[in-house]
């Protein structure tokens, strides 16, 4: 499981962007489209801005990408907490992608449960009978070791059938819609991007601690394809130095 470490967030995001450019180009030599699931939260913002910058934007065949999300906060699109809005603001409004290539999780005029069912139907349309599900899933990790909306102690961690589900997150007083481990673990490539000293304890527990998916749900992500971790020096400060 490759761990890519860079001294700074800026250097790390250039490493991720270059890795993505190469992965997308290599994949598109073998197939006509590339499916990517974006992560929410704050960490992806600087990566998105970099991908949309002159340095990288012309290295990606945007018209062949299809965008999905790993999870969504169940708030209106125009709410600043909405993950799809963040992706539009930092990337999708700045690159040549048609709306037909973008598949957001519905959070308006629908219930969380119905939104999860509707998204699952979209995924079955794209992935049924495929050797892999997503070509790439980008993931973040919370300082409690959660990923997607698989939070410690929640039942969704152990979902084995549904590809998409919803949950009430009392701590944040909101519903979430999230991909589950079965669909993410069918991916060709999964990349965690984790930065900051506040992630160091969880990263050590996830990567070096005993298996404990209820306490550190990120551990349940074990894809059929490749699993990469991209982290800055601050987030990896507690890891056992590799010889
Ligand atoms: O909707 C979300 O919040 C994300 O999908 C979530 O899983 C995120 O990746 C982690 O919470 C890390 O968030 P930061 O990048 O903001 O630390």
Say how many Å lie between the CA of residue 143 and the centre of ligand 1.
9
CB of 145 closer than 6 angstroms to any ligand 1 atom: no
Q: What is the ipTM of this complex?
A: 0.97
Residue 5 CA to residue 230 CA, distance in Å, equals 6
Confidence (pLDDT) at 67: 98
Confidence (pLDDT) at 180: 98
Confidence (pLDDT) at 129: 86
CB of 218 closer than 6 angstroms to any ligand 1 atom: no
Confidence (pLDDT) at 167: 98
Annotate 14-79 with DSSP letters as a single string. Answer: HHHHHHHHHHHHHHTTT-S-EEEEE--SSTHHHHHHHHTSHHHHTTS-GGGEEEEESEEESS-TTS
Kindly state the DSSP code that residue 102 receives in the 8-state scheme.
Answer: B
Say how many Å lie between the CA of residue 58 and the centre of ligand 1.
28
Residue 15 CA to residue 3 CA, distance in Å, equals 12
Residues with pLDDT less than 50, the chain: none
Residue 241 CA to residue 204 CA, distance in Å, equals 11
Confidence (pLDDT) at 242: 81
CB of 148 closer than 6 angstroms to any ligand 1 atom: yes
Say how many Å lie between the CA of residue 44 and the centre of ligand 1.
9
Domains recognised in the chain with CATH numbers: 3-108+127-175+183-210+226-232 (3.40.50.1360)
Residue 193 CA to residue 178 CA, distance in Å, equals 18
User: Which has the closest alpha carbon to 141: 201, 51, 210?
Assistant: 201
């Amino acid at each position: 499981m490759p761990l890519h470490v860079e001294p700074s967030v800026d250097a790390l995001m250039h490493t991720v962007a270059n890795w993505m450019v190469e992965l997308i180009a290599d994949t598109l030599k073998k197939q006509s489209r590339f499916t990517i699931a974006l992560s929410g939260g704050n960490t992806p913002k600087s990566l998105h801005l970099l991908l949309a910058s002159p340095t990288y934007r012309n290295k990606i065949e945007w018209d062949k990408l299809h965008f999905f999300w790993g999870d969504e906060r169940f708030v209106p699109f125009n709410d600043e907490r909405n993950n799809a809005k963040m992706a539009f603001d930092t990337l999708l409004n700045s690159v040549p992608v048609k709306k037909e290539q973008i598949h957001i999780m519905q959070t308006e005029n629908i219930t969380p449960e119905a939104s999860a069912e509707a998204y699952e139907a979209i995924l079955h349309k794209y992935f049924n009978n495929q050797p892999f599900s997503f070509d790439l899933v980008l993931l973040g990790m919370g300082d409690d070791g959660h990923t997607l909306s698989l939070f410690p102690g929640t039942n969704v961690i152990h979902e084995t059938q549904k590809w998409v589900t919803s949950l009430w997150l009392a701590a944040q007083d909101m519903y979430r819609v999230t991909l589950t481990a079965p669909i993410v673990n069918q991916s060709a490539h999964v990349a965690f991007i984790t930065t900051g000293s506040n992630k160091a304890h969880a990263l050590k527990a996830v990567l070096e601690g005993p298996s404990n998916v209820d306490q550190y749900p990120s551990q349940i992500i074990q894809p059929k394809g490749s699993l990469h971790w991209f982290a800055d020096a601050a987030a990896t400060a507690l890891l056992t130095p590799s010889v």
